[in-house]
Structure 1
């Protein structure tokens, strides 16, 4: 039986995103069928008040100054000891589309997760450079398979993955800060003989106000920090 640990990360002073994503989390929480934890990275007082009203008593981790996406994800995962089988992740600019039958949608994604060999989400591909390919070969989860020059992955704004898999493989790696975790997960799946699968029914992932997928502006980046291996920033 599939049970989801729903994790979501909120950042900064974006009350409209807090309300939009928070309403989705409330709807999922109201089903009584998911566990829920949220991370707050430098969240403003206005955004915090919205989340307090929508999600009273929900377990949360807070960081100010922010600790970036993947350290917060690791903290949220480390603080969970329940019986969920799968992680369902939301960036705060991802949400369920208005008018959706939330219980029906949860049944549908549960059914897919029960049979999926790998992860679920919106599938993208991206090229890997030589340094990134070498980094993958040095991972403990590398199993000697070819590291392709182009990796398929579920974009990191919303995805589902078995908790047992990421716990066993130690993903997300401690080296990750804000970028590249979705591509690394795609490479990890490939090494395990698994693959990302398409599931975006009812979802608006990293969406702008018009609900265009991947249309939301990038946020939470500190361009003064040292460039890491996976960042897309200069």
Structure 2
């Protein structure tokens, strides 16, 4: 009798994207990626608009008719908008896939084949997936981790590994279990905080950047997009995260 091969876990993505300000060129670039993924019929899609101009909104409405837009003017910043988008979702997706508006698929990528590649890789990942970076952990951040209800007492290393926030995949079950992004995260720090959470759980972020331009400039170079918007607004935990990445 032939051995029974277990079926691969079913993966479905909730694609979330955040747009900011008056940048119709980014709305077009990222919006085309979202449209291509949506056209596969294999993702759910929700979009956040923080102080988005009429020009940018018009581009997105043309590309994504019928998609839910969550608008905020004045803006509510990145992590609160992610929380809003997640709170309003009640579908059957297993993972969140996040796009900043300066992230997109590279030209020539087949969206259906790319989505299948991400799905196959995601099925084997317990933590997060994206482009890997490291950052030194400050004493204030160590103390913050120790005060969290999810702290397990694992020693926090000198540097933490994390997936940069411009594009990432995270299991929805993990996000809901730990209420991530945490309510005390505002503009910056979400990517690093997730890396710290995974480290405490004995999980690791993993590398996936194939076919992607993440936080990319006009030449599609990763992490080279111009800084836009504001730095971390004043709040109780602002000193923990510094300027946005």
TM-score, normalization by structure 1 = 0.97
In the other structure, the counterpart of 2:48 is 39
**1:70 and 2:79 matched:** yes
Contact 2:187 2:233 in 1 (8 A): no
C-alpha deviation, 1:39, in angstroms: 0.1
Select the residue among 5, 16, 22 that pairs with 2:25.
16
Work out which of the two has the higher radius of gyration on C-alpha atoms and give 1 or 2: 2
Deviation per CA, 1:122-152: give whole Å up to 9, x if none. 0000011100111011111111111112110
Deviation per CA, 1:68-122: give whole Å up to 9, x if none. 0000000000000000000000000000001101100000000000001211100
Contact 1:140 1:169 in 2 (8 A): no
Select the residue among 44, 50, 53 that pairs with 2:59.
50
TM-score, normalization by structure 2 = 0.93
Contact 1:68 1:177 in 2 (8 A): yes
What is the alpha-carbon root mean square deviation over aligned residues? 1.2
| Mean CA deviation greater in 92-101 or 141-150 | 141-150
What is the CA–CA distance in structure 2 between the aligned matches of 1:59 and 1:49, rounded to whole Å? 14
What is the CA–CA distance in structure 1 between the aligned matches of 2:233 and 2:156, rounded to whole Å? 31
Runs of 4+ in 1 over 6 A off after TM superposition: none
In the other structure, the counterpart of 2:240 is 229
C-alpha deviation, 1:220, in angstroms: 2.2
In the alignment, structure 2 segments of 5+ residues that lack a partner are 1-9
In the other structure, the counterpart of 1:200 is 209
Contact 1:68 1:220 in 2 (8 A): no
In the alignment, structure 1 segments of 5+ residues that lack a partner are none
What is the CA–CA distance in structure 1 between the aligned matches of 2:225 and 2:179, rounded to whole Å? 29
In the other structure, the counterpart of 1:172 is 181
The count of aligned residue pairs is 233
Contact 2:163 2:205 in 1 (8 A): yes
What is the CA–CA distance in structure 2 between the aligned matches of 1:182 and 1:55, rounded to whole Å? 27
